[in-house]
Amino acid sequence: MIGQTSPAVEVSGLNIALDLPDGSSRAIVDNVSFAIPKGEVLALIGESGSGKTTIALAMMGYSRFGATISADRIRIGDMQIDALGERALGKVRGSRVAYIAQSAAAAFNPSRTIISQVIEPLIVHGLASRKEAREKAIGLFSALALPSPETIGDRYVHQVSGGQLQRLMAAMALITDPELIILDEPTTALDVTTQVEVLKTFKQAIVASGATAIYVSHDLAVVAQVADQIVVLKDGRMVEQGKAGDLLRSPQSDYTHSLIAAARPVNRAAAPDEAEALLTVEAVHAGYGRVRDGRAAIPVISDVSLALGKGCSLGIIGESGSGKSTLARVIGGLLPASAGAIRLGGELLAPGLAGRSREQLRQIQLVFQNADTALNPMQTVRDAIARPLAFYHGIRGAAADARVAELLDVIQLQPSLAERRTSELSGGQKQRVNLARALAAEPRVLLCDEVTSALDTVVGAAILDLIDALRRQMGIATIFISHDISTVRAFCDEMLVLYSGRVVETCSKAAFSTPVHHPYTELLIDSVPALDPGWLAMLGERHAPAIADTPADEALCPFLARCPVAIAGTCDSQPPSLRETAGMRLLCHAVQPQLASEALNQ
């Protein structure tokens, strides 16, 4: 028997090595040890390649790509995992140790009903009859705040939203009352407003089940909400370990410091106000399919207007599907607007690429989200950067080489990298080359579409710093598109909030700090986890449920179904009115921006 004080999970001297084709092996996890008292949550935090998921999977005696697990000890309760054979491990997995994967959409079998998979652990381990299992599943569905718990399980994966799927997977893990639950980035694929809800439910469910848990994540703020202990990992090694609160308050290692700094972007100075407008977008509509009367068959953005001042920065924020990337494509001419006008320096731009002059195209440059796909893998760094030099400026030969070297210097890369294929670069290096290519055109407007979302936090923060420094230095007006409101807030002079393809709020940096916002903006602000273990608890019940559809009538407020302050009889019958004061425009009946200007004056 295990004594009272003995931890529920104990790992010491864990090594995991990958066998390489040439016969050698490479350590991907090196000498990791930790212990978790019963009922507590341990977080494994690190960037991609830190080995965090590999360690978590080793708790079930499972490794990917045939990697070899060896350890002095992996003990869960009375089980010595490292001593078990494959057959015995099969009995442990899904019954005493359960796993929740990052993407439930991929982890559920698409051609079986969800409930048949949720109850599968009970059935295959012979723990319950089909009928009992079903009842238990339905009980868990309602405990996890899923809508229509009686019937939701009879659906298939493609019929359920991402946030709901993640909870359904939690039900699948909890159904056998496991001793240890492993949560592998369970909220990373979700939108920020959904993430909060799921996080809250998970936390309650873990506490209620009394299980011990390992929470794998790259996001310190998320981890702060759920973890009792944190282990910081880098390149398969433990960097630091401690109680969650202590570690976040006073990190010991430089690496943890840099992680925390990257999670909290520092506010940048705003531009001198009222700069002359350089780029304006006026009542633009765009979408896909046949266009009739200026409206596409599948509209994505409607009636979007914005103005970007010379040398200023504008942040566009919205969740996936809000149309923010589409807006960037429309401004860049890749997707012609179906109605409305786009002007650059007062000059009207044609909606499509074909109608724009080379000089106009040069002035607006896009930097895409995913550097892996934004660079042609068959080209060298030099090819990629030299092409716009030749195309726009006619610079070739030695002059081009010199300019490429200069640009590499600007983006802080070694000149020797010029000869490398872009496919041989790291993610951060790629994104820098991506930026250099845009700068080579000497644009007046830079469109940055989620430039850090594919990067690790620290690398991404460095890229943002670089873009911010360069745009100020070169006086390039910049649009940052992001799903992360704290980034936008730190880097942008002005912010625009998109919801369902419509602008629900525009506000200046100064007005941002006032308490008056569109209810959706408020929801976004409230949904960003703070680096504070008490944040989730404090949040309380302020949140509107994030499970609803947009109203059928296009003219009505798109946020209506989720709005906590909607006025019955007004919001559901009249189109929202545009309210405008200094530094702020809102599309809402319920919120009075006058309050904002008053707040500003205080």
Partner 1 sequence: MNGRLAARLAAMPLSGRIGFALVLFWLVVAVAGPLTAPHPVGKFVDEEVFSPASAQHWLGSDYLGRDVLSRLMWGARYTVLLALGAAALAVATGTSIALFAAIRGGLVDEVISRAMDTLISIPSKIFALVLVAAFGSSLALLMLIAAFTYIPGNYRIARALAVNLVGMDFVQVARARGEGAIHIAWREVLPNMIHPLLADMGLRFVFIVLLLSGLSFLGLGVQPPHADLGSLVRENISGLPQGASAILSPALAIATLTVGANLLIDALKGGGEA
Partner 2 sequence: MAAPAANAPVWLGLTRVVLQRIASALLTLLLVSIVIFAAASLLPGDAAQEVLGQSATPEQVAALRHEMGLDQPAVTRYLDWLAALLGGDPGRSYIADMQVTELIGARLVNSLSLAGITALVSVALALTIGIVSAINRGSKLDRALNIVTLSLVALPEFLIATVFVLLFSVKLVWLPSIAMVSPEATWSEMLRSMALPVACLTFVVSAQMARLTRAAVADQLDRPYVEMARLKGVTFRRIILFHVLPNAAGPVLNAIALSLSYLMGGALIIETIFSFPGLASLMVNAVTSRDMPLLQACAMIFCAAYLALILIADIVAILANPRLRS
Residues that bind partner 2 (CB under 8 A): 57, 60, 62, 64, 90-95, 98-99, 101, 103, 106-112, 120-121, 124-125, 148, 151-152, 155-156, 158-161, 172, 549
- Residue 158 or 358 having the CB closest to partner 2: 158
Q: If contact means CB under 5 to 8 A according to the sort of partner, which of partner 2, partner 1, none does residue 91 touch?
A: partner 2
Both tokens of residue 465? 């710093």
Q: Name the residue nearer to partner 1 (CB basis): 333 or 501.
A: 333
Q: Which lies closer to partner 1 via its Cβ, residue 21 or residue 126?
A: 21
Quick one: what does residue 215 bind among partner 2, partner 1, none, with the CB cut-off 5 to 8 Å set by partner type?
Answer: none
* For partner 2, the closer CB: 152 or 247: 152
**Could you tell me the sign of the dihedral formed by the alpha carbons of 168, 174, 175, 180, in that order?**
positive
- Residue 196's binding partner among partner 2, partner 1, none (Cβ under 5 to 8 angstroms by kind) is none
Name the minimum Å distance from CB 358 to partner 1.
Answer: 5
Task: Look at residue 437 and give the partner it binds from partner 1, partner 2, none, a contact being a CB closer than 5 to 8 Å depending on partner kind.
Answer: partner 1
Q: How many CB atoms lie within 10 A of CB 78?
A: 9
Q: Which of 327, 308, 309 is nearest to 317 (CA)?
A: 327
Query: Measured from the CB of residue 216, what is the shortest distance to partner 2 in angstroms?
Result: 14
103 binds, options partner 1, partner 2, none, Cβ within 5 to 8 A by partner type: partner 2
Q: Which does 353 bind (CB under 5 to 8 A by kind): partner 2, partner 1, none?
A: partner 1
Least Å distance between CB 29 and partner 2? 18
> Closer to partner 2 at the Cβ: 34 or 108?
108
* Cα separation values, 585 from 70, 110, 511, 562, 593, Å: 60, 44, 10, 20, 8
Of 166, 182, 220, nearest in space to 55 by CA: 182
Q: Residue numbers of the site for partner 1 (CB under 8 A)? A: 329, 332-334, 353, 356, 358, 361-362, 364-366, 368-370, 373-379, 387-388, 391-392, 437, 441
Nearer CB in complex with partner 2: 110/515: 110
Beta strand 477-482 with 313-317 is parallel
Read off the tokens for 596: 């904002």
Minimum distance from CB of 367 to partner 1 (Å)?
9
Partner interacting with residue 460 (select from partner 1, partner 2, none; CB below 5-8 Å by kind):
none
Burial of 235 (0-12, 13-18, 19+ CB in 10 A): middle
- CB under 5 to 8 A by kind: which of partner 2, partner 1, none does 378 bind? partner 1
Q: Which does 109 bind (CB under 5 to 8 A by kind): partner 2, partner 1, none?
A: partner 2
Q: How far is the CB of 582 from partner 1 (least distance, A)?
A: 35
The DSSP H or E segment spanning 410 is helix 397-410
Q: Based on CB atoms, which residue is closest to partner 2, 317 or 546?
A: 546
> Of partner 2, partner 1, none, which one sits near residue 549, judging by CB under 5 to 8 A according to partner kind?
partner 2
Task: Give the position of tokens 């599943």.
Answer: 137
Rounded to a whole number of angstroms, the minimum distance from the CB of residue 296 to partner 1 is 14
CB of 203 to partner 1, least distance (A): 37
User: Quick check: 475 and 276 in contact, CB under 8 A?
Assistant: no
Residue 55, CA atoms < 13 Å, CB-side half-sphere? 34
Q: Which amino acid is at 590?
A: A
Phi, psi of 60 (to 5 degrees): -105, 15
Pair type for strands 180-184 and 97-100: parallel
Toward partner 1, which CB reaches closer, 73 or 387? 387
* Distance of alpha carbon 318 from alpha carbon 496, whole angstroms: 9
Give the integer Cα–Cα distance in Å for 71 and 431.
38
- Cβ proximity to partner 1: between 335 and 496 the closer is 335
Cβ of residue 94: shortest distance to partner 2, in angstroms? Answer: 3
Inter-residue contact 167 to 198 (CB < 8 Å): yes
**CA pair distance 115, 153, nearest whole angstrom:** 4
Residue (9 or 440) nearer to partner 1, CB: 440
Rg (CA), the chain: 26
Nearest approach, Cβ of residue 547 and partner 2 (Å): 9
d(CA 57, CA 186): 14
CA–CA separation, 146 vs 475, rounded Å?
50
CB of 23 to partner 2, least distance (A): 17
User: How far apart, in whole angstroms, are the C-alpha atoms of residue 188 and residue 211?
Assistant: 22
